[in-house]
Structure 1
Amino acid sequence: MVHQRRTVAAGLIAVGALAFSCVLVSAAPAGAEQVPEATAVASDSGSCWQEDVLPATGATVHDLVSPAAGTVWAGATRVTSEGKTTRSSPALFTRGQGSAAWSEAALAPVTVDSRVNALDARSLSDGLVVGDYAAGLGGVMTQHLVDGQWQVAVADVSAQAHGGGLLDVDMTDSGSAWAVGWETIEDSLTPDPDGGPSTVTYHDEPLAERWDGTTWQRWDLPRIAGSWVLNGVTVLAADDVWAVGQTHDTLQPVVVHYDGTDWRQVPTPSYGGVQGELLGITARGGDVWAVGSLKRDVGGEIEGLVLRFDGISWSRVPLPATGRLTSVTATPTKVAVVGADDGGSYGFALEGRSWRSLRLSSPDQEPVWVTTVTADATGTLLVGGVRPGTESTPALPVVLTSCE
């Protein structure tokens, strides 16, 4: 069982069909800052990727997990048009051991709008999918795999919630799990004196839910800011859980820790910017890695951010020049991070003290917009996302598998 990836959902629309190819793509830009733990210089060695396009229309891959050797699951969101509106629905695609073909698995049918924001699994028979708040359900749509069948399990939210969702989930070997996200709370409603639409004000509050194998339980969190959210979670032990996010009012990264009793805020290290966010988190061998972005000044460019906890304290890890990072995974030999912006996708692997470009973009192809990265039991990297459409070609939901 592998659950080493962390990601944040992305709202892209994809249209797909089944395809297979091996792609060699070009390097991303590199920087030159150095610290003893790592060297922020990307090597020029290439990365080879096998690209699979999933058998779907209107779907985008948001998360990946390898629940057993040779097996990969891709959580996705299918978007369909219904008149002048669109509807989001959860989808799951699987690739079995010894097979190059992907097929769609049967999730429990739902009649409410919801994405698949994240998924995790501890085996082929025990997994979780988490999505969005739906008023028709009275909480957040999640699904649990039981005896080979996916069943809807609603996660509670506060009575004042008017929206929200769970953005990440991490299962343990015992079948329990933690999931984190946000809920949107209504502050006030002011009717228009002229009979027009009322003015409604909202703020966001973080959401942390624990799965006991059967039901979800909502947990209290410290009040860190007037409006803030959690984007990623990773479980090291029953009394050692980390989650990351950001404040909305002060635009600062947030790290919180669960010690088996309560959630508490943990100070983040100096990260070199005036604004920041943390979007993904993973753990391996006692180390915890978190990724996101920063701005050195309010009007500055968005840069990638990597933080590492070594069991004692958090520190910033320099990396090559890059934009916002949305997902991170760790294997016994490397840490891999990915992200995307208007210029395309980028990714790097930290091996020893040096970063190596994953070469996710190619100048002679339409760019893949990546959303997530994971690793299977052998350490092989898998990247999920979408190849955006053009005027003449549809968008294609994709999974890239390292063929190094």
Structure 2
Amino acid sequence: MTRTLLALTGGLAALTLAVGPAPGPWVTEEFPAGNARLLDVERIDADTMWTAGFRRSGEGKLKSLRSVLFGREDSSHRWKQIPTPLDDVRTRINAIGASPEGDAWLVGDADETTRTIHAAHHDDTGWKPAPAPLPEGTVSGGFLGVAAVDHDDAWAVGWTQPEGSLLTFHGLIEHWDGVAWRQAAPPALDADYWSLWGITASAPDDVWAAGTIGTPEGIRPLLLHYDGTSWARQSAPELDSLTGEFTAMASNGPNDVWAVGRVSRGATGRDHGLVAHFDGTRWSVVDAPVGQGRLYGVTVARGAVAVVGYENSSRPIGARLQYGRWQALRLPEVGTQSTAPVGIATTGRALTIVGLATNAPAAGEEDPGTLPFAIRGF
């Protein structure tokens, strides 16, 4: 996610100085009929992309959520629904993670009845449920991000709500060791409110997680790093005491790590996209041609990075850095009422962007609900 942050940076790196032309036309891809809210997209192997989220069913007090996963081959512009062990439980799929070998994880929300967080693991033998323990002393929680180094080395992050407090939330970190999820000790943060939204892993001893933390001065971005032994808090880029948070991460090795989110600027407190980069030494804010809104997706591949999100009015925003030049993505508005990209992945030179869209109901008709969308462009 990006936005103009010249005022927040002491200067721009050379790779951010020029703005190039936008990518070519975008192609809208087809989904099976039915409402769905997509929350993430991930490349699973050399030919396959997955996107996931949830559907709403029922009415009134009987309304519930059901997870949904779609898959698409690179040669196709049509997505097909994929059955998973999470189809029969009430949860969302908040994030997808895949290892270089093709193992994949789906992670969602907690089931307070069973005291577990819904998750599933896919390998060359098929699907298996992979529930994660909900920490003792908590009433709810869930995973919001997942990343994998190998089939027996994956990390998931999210949030929990402790018992007895409606306004206290703590972050959650768990590790998959090839058999089960096990809780990992976070660093001492001395905060009643903090959570983790995104995670990226380039090696067993190089894992980053990002989110938000409440401080006496307000909400601030939060960065944690795992060095193979323990998790430690890292210095986030300076935002001139402005409110901000990170929502997603991606990396292309230890010296090329990206985090995106939002920052509130000016007297109006309007949100602007936040893009930050780690060069192996320090984090810094990066300027990009996006504008107002929040960023929810980032992808890194072959020396390029791309970010997406949407404005407060639910119009899509996005930008790509390639060959040392930023390009505004100029994303199409898929829905007549709102278009909200939330995830992005790379296929060769192409970008696949997913999200949710709503159409304004015709006169005398009910709201048609939220529809999934995916667009592909170069």
2-side partners of 1:142 and 1:331: how far apart?
27
Which AA in structure 2 matches 1:239? D
Alignment of 1:331 onto 2:327 = no
Q: Residue in 1 aligned with 2:85?
A: 108
2-side partners of 1:258 and 1:364: how far apart?
40
Compared CA separation, residues 251 and 49, structure 1 to 2 (3 A):
same
Compared CA separation, residues 86 and 294, structure 1 to 2 (3 A):
same
2-side partners of 1:30 and 1:171: how far apart?
32
2-side partners of 1:120 and 1:288: how far apart?
17
Question: Which one of the candidate residues 172, 192, 195 is aligned to 1:226?
Answer: 192
The Cα shift of 1:306 comes to 1.0
Is the deviation greater in 319-328 or in 135-144? 319-328
The Cα shift of 1:319 comes to 1.8
2-side partners of 1:395 and 1:208: how far apart?
31
For each residue in 1:144-194, what CA deviation from the matched residue of structure 2 results, as whole angstroms up to 9, or x when unmatched? 114443222111122111111100111114442111000111235xxxxxx
Asked whether the 8 Å contact 1:186–1:202 carries over to 2, the reply is no
Is the deviation greater in 265-274 or in 209-218? 265-274
2-side partners of 1:266 and 1:307: how far apart?
13
2-side partners of 1:114 and 1:223: how far apart?
30
2-side partners of 1:363 and 1:94: how far apart?
20
Residues 242-321 of structure 1 aligned to structure 2 (within 5 Å): 242-249=208-215, 250-285=218-253, 286-297=255-266, 299-320=268-289, 321=291
Q: Which runs of 5+ in 1 are unaligned?
A: 1-6, 8-27, 189-200
Compared CA separation, residues 254 and 357, structure 1 to 2 (3 A):
same
Asked whether the 8 Å contact 2:3–2:273 carries over to 1, the reply is no
The Cα shift of 1:334 comes to 1.3
For each residue in 1:311-366, what CA deviation from the matched residue of structure 2 results, as whole angstroms up to 9, or x when unmatched? 11111111222321111111113110111131401100012333101111349955
For each residue in 1:200-227, what CA deviation from the matched residue of structure 2 results, as whole angstroms up to 9, or x when unmatched? x341110001111221011111132221
Q: Among the aligned pairs, what percent are the same residue?
A: 31
Asked whether the 8 Å contact 1:203–1:226 carries over to 2, the reply is yes
Question: Which one of the candidate residues 185, 195, 204 is aligned to 1:238?
Answer: 204
The Cα shift of 1:118 comes to 0.3
Q: Residue in 1 aligned with 2:365?
A: none
Q: Residue in 2 aligned with 1:186?
A: 163
Question: Which one of the candidate residues 28, 43, 60 is aligned to 1:51?
Answer: 28
Q: Tell me the secondary structure at the aligned position of residue 143 of structure 2.
A: strand
1-side partners of 2:214 and 2:179: how far apart?
33
Residues 5-404 of structure 1 aligned to structure 2 (within 5 Å): 35-39=12-16, 42-109=19-86, 111-122=88-99, 126-188=103-165, 201-224=166-189, 225-249=191-215, 250-285=218-253, 286-297=255-266, 299-320=268-289, 321-341=291-311, 342-362=313-333, 367-376=338-347, 378-392=348-362, 394-402=369-377, 404=378
Is the deviation greater in 253-262 or in 88-97? 88-97
Which AA in structure 2 matches 1:237? A
Which AA in structure 1 matches 2:304? K
TM-score (norm: length of structure 1):
0.83
Compared CA separation, residues 306 and 335, structure 1 to 2 (3 A):
same
Asked whether the 8 Å contact 1:232–1:281 carries over to 2, the reply is yes
Asked whether the 8 Å contact 1:183–1:207 carries over to 2, the reply is yes
Compared CA separation, residues 264 and 54, structure 1 to 2 (3 A):
same
TM-score (norm: length of structure 2):
0.88
Q: Which runs of 5+ in 2 are unaligned?
A: 363-367
2-side partners of 1:332 and 1:322: how far apart?
28
2-side partners of 1:394 and 1:139: how far apart?
30
Compared CA separation, residues 89 and 351, structure 1 to 2 (3 A):
same
Tell me: higher relative CO, structure 1 or 2? Use CA pairs within 8 A at least 6 residues apart. 1
The alignment yields a C-alpha RMSD, in angstroms, of 2.6
Which AA in structure 2 matches 1:204? F
Q: Matched residue pairs, number?
A: 364
For each residue in 1:85-117, what CA deviation from the matched residue of structure 2 results, as whole angstroms up to 9, or x when unmatched? 421111111113533332111111555421000
Compared CA separation, residues 206 and 55, structure 1 to 2 (3 A):
same
Is the deviation greater in 288-297 or in 163-172? 288-297
Q: Tell me the secondary structure at the aligned position of residue 336 of structure 1.
A: strand
Compared CA separation, residues 97 and 339, structure 1 to 2 (3 A):
closer
The Cα shift of 1:137 comes to 2.7
